[in-house]
Structure 1
Amino acid sequence: MTAAALGMSAQPIRHPDGSEQVMTRRGWWLVLLNFLIPGSAQALAGNRRLGRFGLGATLVMWALAIVTVAVALLSRRTMFDLVTNGIVLLVVEVLLVAYAILWVVLTIDTLRLVRVVRLRSWTRVAIPILSVVLLVVASGGAVTAASYAQTARDTFGTLFGASGASQAPSDGYYNIMLLGGDDAQGRTSMRFDSISVVSMNATTGAITTTGVPRDLAGFPFVAGSPMRSLYPSVHTGHGDPVCGWGPGINQLNTEVTVCKHGSSLYPDAVTQGSTPGIEATRDALEGILGVKIQYYVLMNFGGFAQLVDALGGVDIKVTERLPIGGGPKYRGEPASQWAKGWIEPGEQHMDGNTAQWYARSRETTSDWDRVQRQAQLEQAIVKQVNATTLLTRFREVAAAGQNLFKTDIPEGMLGYLADLGIKSRSQKVQAIQLVPTQGVDQFNPDVAAIHAKLQKLLHPAASPSPSN
């Protein structure tokens, strides 16, 4: 036997002897190698240049995956920064699509190398079917991951595309204004019916929330606010005869929007990712609480149902029977005539429409009860957003988020704030409500006392000890 023949017999994958048994065994190996280590089939049995390219691409993807896992384990903040960065997501998307295309090319070439006509009869069908299944699993997974990256990039770009620069903490805290409104059909503008401020410690992540009733009145605007030109002392809601809105804080957005003076009071609001109504509300809350509010998050209850449905529903414990419907047409009309249905007490798995009415219903309860139910829903939604939900319903949740939320938090702050949010989970949340049961007059609030109470919660070590 010649040396060449010996060399060929020692390399059955590249130089098979042509028997059905060897060709079939070789075919199974090539298909599995193409799936496990793309490029290896070509390196062993085909075009070595294509094989080296495929192996190189595979090694690069493995290296990137290992680096990603290492970063996630060693620096959570860096990981958050990467996965919320639009440029990084675009690069990931392009790489995944390119790798999926390469995998298709390598699979087709592998089937050519298998030489299906030389296989045993039943494997002439089985091996191509296995190749297609493995291709769908591999390249399909890469394409799905790429589509997730695109969805995330679009969502982050829409929600966090504010042009404002990242802001520094104030007195050791980031204070974020949370607004919930409803721009239902027939309304001239959105009213902020749910108003609160989340104060997050810039070092520890400790959270203090302050709930503000929507009808709180008699409050001052922070020094330097353009609204002081209309209300130098406190807000009355009657600074313009055309704007005869009530004095409640939730009237500010309607007031500056309908009265058409919002754009002159806050000319840069829109370009900075906000609105005049939001800025007027921010100035009011800074005056009431005595803290600087860096950012806002607005939730539109009109799109609330879409988010709940995207999450597959939400679990809520209902404590009292609540009507579904817009309310009576005249005073004293019984609920049985206008209610479209009822939310019964007990454990409920709510769809989007039911959850929306749970948050909005107030005809048989008070505004304060409604604020508490909205906070309960917010907490339930946070619990519902887990890794499994995001993986299985990512596109639906992302689409709902684009319709539901608006914020001026810049993309560059997402990693930092997300990291603080993780830290906050191990700490107890402090909460105060500016309501009569906690000693706050709804029409003539003692602003100095509110300032002192909040500061005591935010900086307990710096608060003076009570005299004996």
Structure 2
Amino acid sequence: MVDALPPLPAPQVPAPSRRGGRRRAESGDARRSRRSASAVPRGGARRASGQRRAHGLPGTIGVTLLGALLPGSGLVWSGRRALGWLVLLPTVLGLAAAGWYVGRDLRAVLDFATSPTQLKIAAAVFVVGLVAWAGVVHLTYRKVRPLQRSRWHTAVGQGFVVVLCLLVGVPVAYAARSALATSDLVSSVFEGNETATSPEDVTKANPWGDRERVNVLLLGGDGGVGRTGVRTDTVILASISVRTGRTVMFSLPRNMMNAQFPEDSPLHDLYPDGYSGAEDDGFYMLNAIYGQIPERHPGVLGKSKNEGADAIKQAVAGSLGIRVDYYVLANLKGFKDVVDAMGGITVNVNKPVAINGNTDAGIPPTGYIEPGPDQHLDGFHALWFARGRWGSDDYERMERQRCTIDAIIDAADPATLITRYTELAAAGKEVVSSDIPLDLVPAFVELALKVKDANVRSVVFKRSDKFFSGDPDFAWMHETVTRAIKPRSATPTESPSESPSGSPSESPSGTPSGSPTATPSEEPGAAVDARDSCGYEPVEGVEAAGE
């Protein structure tokens, strides 16, 4: 009989550890910190693998900031060289290439900056870049923060990352928004602007057709309440030297009668002796041509998106004896929005300028812009400074309009354009129309930069013993234009050139010799410096409206 096996000994159950509960309660992050304590001393240091972390909160913030300013550099510092250089190298090369591209060819940059398609692509790239940039900032922080840190350390560090992402994100988001705004503006104003009167011998490579000056008609249209259509009460021709940017502005009164048309224009066949007829004089003033010609003779000049603008271009060309290349029409109803978007303009007010009011109807103004030097006007007051007629005449208003343009040129400084660009673009697309072709926009932007730094002079055709708007002496007007655009020193590069017979020349033939000897106030039609003529010279005997 087999003896019974002895009983197995009872299993030894280890006594419960006093720290077991705390061990179970420890976070996974804390256990990892304790396991790596031998490799990473408290406060952070280089690990055996070659990776390292920052020392404390200041070090974490410093390295994260470095990684934000130069994406990838923080990762390289932390020892993650492959990933860091994968980010850092494209960033450095991209910035260097962009700087080289901008400094090498301004026209190429302007081509890019005025292409709706490329601007939309740029906006998308900005958005993708912003997401990637924010991701690199966050990753840099996670890779360099100490493994042992307090809750306060974590909270401050994460808050810093959020603020840093916002700081890098705002300018990038603004750039994307500006790119889309520019694309919208360029598409709205310069695409599909078919015209019958613009130069045909120009290309993107040769935007001026070998001409020495480009002549742009600036029109202020007022389609206000109670008016049918648009009346171009502001008519100013800007003749610009394409080499220097020097500009002469010719202001014509809205009530000028008997406007002439070039001999090769179909309108000259209809009105060989000037724009006149049996109806009321109001139908034949200069500001009526914009609306009357398309209504009476639709399609007479050929296919055009804006027949009225083409007609008044022809009228100004024939009346001044100078070629008119393009027009820019600003609807005065939206003019105040543009000025507000610029932050206002600064002008000298030499006498009270009425706000509202109707002289013919005997309706008094509701207020005045008071006289004073360097008056800063918002959009509403700038509009009335340019258009107010109560207590003055059309010629005074023409002078103020010219000063308004000069003030806008002054206000359009780089800082204003950068900080208020999206507002300007949004207002501009609702206000401005033009027949400048899209391909030529970069050349005009480059020319505008020259105009800002160049001398601007002006000629106002106002009542004198030489000029009467009811019966203008067009031969004298032609001579005045020639004298104004003739270079002060007779250099071949800017001397007026002849054009084929039957069409207005860049400057009329028969140039008078010499320059005006009298002061502008003594010589009708003299070209005066815009800044001098817009200075503060209060009218004696005229008190502020409130006094």
Q: Name the TM-score, length of structure 1 as normaliser.
A: 0.83
**2:244–2:454 Cα contact (<8 Å) kept:** no
How far apart, in 2, do the equivalents of 1:16 and 1:192 lie? 77
TM alignment of 1:33-432, pairs within 5 A? 33-43=66-76, 45=78, 50-68=83-101, 70-71=103-104, 75-114=105-144, 118-162=148-192, 166=203, 168-169=208-209, 172-238=212-278, 245-257=282-294, 259=295, 261-262=297-298, 264-270=299-305, 275-327=306-358, 330=361, 333=362, 338-347=364-373, 348-425=375-452, 427-432=454-459
How far apart, in 2, do the equivalents of 1:441 and 1:204 lie? 33
Alignment coverage as a number of residue pairs: 443
CA distance 1:374–1:44, change in 2 (3 Å)? same
How far apart, in 1, do the equivalents of 2:54 and 2:175 lie? 39
Gaps of 5+ in 1: none
CA distance 1:91–1:47, change in 2 (3 Å)? farther
Per-residue deviation, 1:464: 5.8
CA distance 1:64–1:18, change in 2 (3 Å)? closer
Which string of whole-angstrom CA distances, capped at 9 and with x for unpartnered residues, describes residues 173-222 of structure 1? 21111111111122111111111111112323222221111111123211
Amino acid at match of 2:338: L
Structure whose residues are more often helix by fraction = 1
**1:308–1:351 Cα contact (<8 Å) kept:** yes
Equivalent residue of 1:246, what SS?
helix
Amino acid at match of 1:122: W
Amino acid at match of 2:288: Q
How far apart, in 2, do the equivalents of 1:314 and 1:21 lie? 52
Per-residue deviation, 1:283: 0.8
How far apart, in 1, do the equivalents of 2:84 and 2:486 lie? 63
CA distance 1:45–1:324, change in 2 (3 Å)? same
Amino acid at match of 2:395: W
**2:54–2:144 Cα contact (<8 Å) kept:** no
**Which residue pairs with 2:536 in the alignment?**
none
Per-residue deviation, 1:328: 5.1
**Superposed CA RMSD:** 3.3
Which string of whole-angstrom CA distances, capped at 9 and with x for unpartnered residues, describes residues 67-122 of structure 1? 25533xxx544444443333443343233222111112223333443467632443
CA distance 1:233–1:15, change in 2 (3 Å)? farther
Amino acid at match of 2:347: I
Q: Name the TM-score, length of structure 2 as normaliser.
A: 0.72
Amino acid at match of 2:431: L
**1:93–1:146 Cα contact (<8 Å) kept:** yes
Equivalent residue of 1:38, what SS?
coil
Equivalent residue of 2:167, what SS?
helix
Gaps of 5+ in 2: 1-35, 195-201, 496-510, 515-547
Highest RCO, 1 vs 2 (Cα 8 Å, sep ≥ 6): 1
**2:52–2:79 Cα contact (<8 Å) kept:** no
How far apart, in 2, do the equivalents of 1:17 and 1:195 lie? 74
**2:260–2:275 Cα contact (<8 Å) kept:** yes
How far apart, in 1, do the equivalents of 2:165 and 2:461 lie? 60
CA distance 1:185–1:53, change in 2 (3 Å)? farther
Bigger Cα displacement from structure 2, 25-34 vs 170-179: 25-34
Amino acid at match of 2:190: F
**1:13–1:26 Cα contact (<8 Å) kept:** no
CA distance 1:328–1:197, change in 2 (3 Å)? closer
Identity, in percent, stands at 28
CA distance 1:45–1:401, change in 2 (3 Å)? same
Per-residue deviation, 1:412: 2.9
Bigger Cα displacement from structure 2, 385-394 vs 16-25: 16-25
How far apart, in 2, do the equivalents of 1:216 and 1:14 lie? 86
CA distance 1:265–1:36, change in 2 (3 Å)? same
Equivalent residue of 1:177, what SS?
strand
Per-residue deviation, 1:287: 0.8
CA distance 1:20–1:416, change in 2 (3 Å)? closer
**1:184–1:302 Cα contact (<8 Å) kept:** yes
**2:53–2:144 Cα contact (<8 Å) kept:** no
Per-residue deviation, 1:29: 5.2
Per-residue deviation, 1:372: 0.9
How far apart, in 1, do the equivalents of 2:75 and 2:53 lie? 21
